[in-house]
Every structure is written in C-alpha cells, then in structure tokens.
Amino acid sequence: MDPVEALKVPGVLKVVEIDQSPAPAQFNPVGGVAVVATNTWAAIQGRRALKVVWNDGPNGSYDSVAFKSAMEESARKPGKVVRDNGNLDAGMASAAKKIEAEYYIPHLAHAPMEPPAATVRINGSKAEVWGCFQSPQATKDLVAKRLGLQPADVGRARHAARRGFGRKSKPDFAIEAAVVSKAMEGKPVKLTWTREDDLMHTYFHTVSVEHLEAGVDGQGKPVAWLHRSVARALLDVRGRGQERARAGAGHGGHQRAVRHREHPHREPGGGAHTRIGWFRAVSNIPHAFAVQSFVPSWPRRPAATRRTICWRSSVRRAASRRKPCRTPGTMASRRTSTR
C-alpha cells in the first residue's frame, strides 16, 4: 500500500489499515484500508488515489462456474435425509408419470436501502456507537471485544435499519468504524460503505442447487416427492458447522399431504469461497423458489376436480371476515389496501 497520493488530496487526514481477522472471521472485518478525511467527498477521492496491491489469498482460485457444476453433480446423488414420510421408492413405482427438474439459485446480495454505515467515538475506557443495526447487542459485544473493553462500557444508539433484510444483523461495519476511531485517537469517525463496497463485500446468501422429482397419479395429484437440496450451511459464518442449518426453513414443509416423500440435504464439496450470511426468510428462499417453479410443470387436473379460492382483504377488515370469491375455478391475486 502506498498512501502518498491519497494524502495529497485536500481534506484527507490519514490512511488506516484494518487488520485481517482470523478464521472464522464471523462478523469481524476481513481486512482492508480506510481513508479518513474531513468530509465524505474527500475520503472517496483519497481512496481513488490510493495505490494498493491486493493478495487474493487462498480463495483466489475460486471459480463459481466450476463450483456450480460440482454442486449439480452432488445434487444428483443421495444425501442425508432430514425429513421423510412413507416409502419414496414405492410411491414412485405407483406413479402414472414422473417429473424431474433442477434449479440453481445464485448468491444474493441484500442491497439494503442504506449501505452499511456507523459512527464510533472512543473516550478512554468507554466507547459510543451509532448506526442502523438489526442486532444491537451483538454490535455492542463485538465492538467491545475488538477494542478490549467491557460490553457495559460500550454505549449504542440504534436507528431504523433501513430495510436491512438480514445484512445489518452482521455488524462488521461498526467494528471497522471502531478500529478507525481508535487509530484517530478516539475522535468520532463515521465510516460509510459505498454501494459498490456493499455489493462486492457483503455477506451473500448462499448459492444452492435444488433437485426435485415427483410422481403423480392419473389426476395430476402428487403421490411421491423427492427434494434434494445442496447448499452450504448459513451458520458456517459463525464457525458452527452444518448441523444447525443443514436443511433450513421450508425444506419439506410444503408437501405434508404427499404420502411418500423424502428431503435429503448435502453439503457442497470444497465449500464456497465467499462470505455468506442469511437473507430475510433464510433457507425458505431457495426451497420455496424451487417448489413454486416445479409445481406448475405438473399435469393439470381436470377442471371438475379443481377448486381455487381467492381472498378479498383489506387493512380495515379482520381476518375472520375475509370472504372467498364466489366463482370456483377462477384465479385472483390476494390484494391488500394501501390506504
């Protein structure tokens, strides 16, 4: 790193290196450089002038296309069954028709309305933190740990999370602000991520491959169901391994009426070399997407056996007063008044 040109920018005060956190980094910064200035514009211009050569480290060879192929291959093999019912083989053998589909769900960035930003001031053995946090207690504890303080000596002011979708439950940006404030001898420092920072260095929702197979009878009713999910455990970011998040929400919760069903889960071989973290609804996202995409591909039942109910709803009407559409077999979206 060569800070000479950055320090020539009017308003730039200092260039601070943020040390790498040992693995598992959890919610700590993964390392970087911060340019401190008297205003945001000067800080951004100073960062552009900064000369940095990055070492990609052990994950530099990560190839997302190759990893996708490996996950797809894994999805076609048996996995650890986390939910099952009946006898899948018998159900498939009795089916009039078999349907198969596979879905790839890429990494998802939270992209909250407001990019990560936090302000920290250190005064001796005490610190103050301001920011939009979904986990204010975790922010307090982790900032205290990084600064070598007691959690009781760290005060915080939490503001609206600005639609964080889970991103702001991970307070790495607050810890970064604390590190920079300490380097500035405790002066209050507001650290702001640009939108480009946010999209490149966020905690991405894990990539996954969803493999589904179904056996249906002559009426188009499912009699057997297989949903194999391949994804890295979202709690890996905390170093807890896969046991607590191996299947996730929504895996097998949609097909309770199917007599024969099986829901295996597999961890992708080699692991994904990106920092991951849960998106709102967590593992319901890939599981529900796959199920909702898969079901319309089934043979449709005769019209006489179909019954579709839609609901008229309003914020002024209690749930107990909702009325079904009078015309069976018609489809309408559920609508809520915005008044």
List of residues 6+ apart from 88 with CB closer than 8 A: 224, 225, 226, 260, 261, 262
HSE at residue 204, side-chain half, CA atoms within 13 A, is: 17
- Domain coordinates in residue numbering, the chain: 4-55+111-201, 64-108+204-297, 307-339
Query: What's the start-to-end Cα distance of the chain, in Å?
Result: 55
Q: What residue type is 339 in one-letter code?
A: R
pLDDT for position 236? 57
pLDDT at 285: 82
Q: Which helix (H) or strand (E) holds 40?
A: helix 40-49
CA distance 311 to 336: 10
Distances (CA, A) of 300 to 144, 221, 289: 59, 9, 20
Tell me yes or no: is domain 4-55+111-201 CATH 3.30.930.10. Answer: no
How far apart CA 129 and CA 140 sit, in angstroms, is 8
CB-based contacts of 152: which residues, under 8 Å, 6+ apart? Answer: none
Q: How far apart are CA 232 and CA 247, in angstroms?
A: 10
Beta carbons within 10 angstroms of residue 313's beta carbon: 16
Q: Are 135 and 158 in contact (CB under 8 A)?
A: no
Domains 4-55+111-201 and 64-108+204-297 share a fold: yes
Q: Which long-range contacts (CB under 8 A, 24 or more apart) does 56-64 make?
A: 58/273, 59/273, 59/274, 62/272, 62/273, 62/274, 64/207
Q: What is the secondary structure of 307-326 as a DSSP string? A: ----EE--TTS-GGG-EE-S
- The CA distance from 255 to 86, in Å, is 13
CATH architecture of the domain covering 64-108+204-297: 2-Layer Sandwich (3.30)
Return the ∠ at Cα 47 (arms to 110 and 274), rounded to 5°. 35
Name the token pair of 181: 């404030």
Cα dihedral angle (161, 167, 170, 171), rounded to 10 degrees?
Answer: -50
Q: Please report, in tens digits, the pLDDT of each residue of the chain (339 residues total).
A: 999 999 999 999 999 999 988 877 888 998 899 999 999 999 999 999 999 999 888 788 888 888 899 999 999 988 888 778 889 999 999 999 999 999 999 988 999 888 999 999 999 999 999 999 988 899 999 999 999 999 999 997 767 776 788 899 899 999 999 999 999 999 999 999 999 999 988 998 888 899 999 999 888 888 999 988 888 876 655 555 444 444 555 566 665 567 777 777 777 765 557 888 888 777 788 888 888 888 876 665 544 433 333 333 333 344 444 444 443 333 333 333 333
Residue-level pLDDT at 315: 35
* pLDDT value of residue 254: 60
What residues contact 169, with CB distance under 8 A and at least 6 apart? 133, 134, 135, 138, 277, 278
| Residues 6 or more apart whose Cβ sits within 8 Å of residue 256 | none
Provide the pLDDT for residue 339: 30
Q: What are the tokens at 163?
A: 């639609």
